[in-house]
Structure 1
């Protein structure tokens, strides 16, 4: 298995990465918004108040 960041062979301690550096690069990309999980933005509440109201109306 190769590291998805740099292409080197992976190390069991950091799998699926080869090093802590590559794991940190991947985490940084998630946190900066470089990676995005596709989804329906319309289905998500705009505010915390809307989420709370939706949750209380289901009970």
Structure 2
């Protein structure tokens, strides 16, 4: 049974940073979320809905 590689660099995963291979890849993934590099599909939010969340 083979394990899936790190989703960022494709190296083998490590137990400590699963599903990543290192702290660097984990942080690189987190930075993608912070800078809108990733997005969850769905209908665009109306401006009035966003204002209510604040």
TM-score of the two chains, using structure 1 as the length reference: 0.73
* Cα RMSD for the two superposed structures: 2.1
Greater gyration radius: 1
| Aligned pair partner of 1:5 in 5, 8, 21 | 8
Question: Which runs of at least 4 in structure 1 moved beyond 2 Å after TM superposition?
Answer: none
| 1:47 partnered with 2:51 | yes
3-state SS of the aligned residue for 1:41?
A: coil
- Cα distance in 2 for residues equivalent to 1:34 and 1:46: 20
Unpaired stretches in structure 1, ≥5 consecutive residues? 52-59
TM-score of the two chains, using structure 2 as the length reference: 0.79
Unpaired stretches in structure 2, ≥5 consecutive residues? none
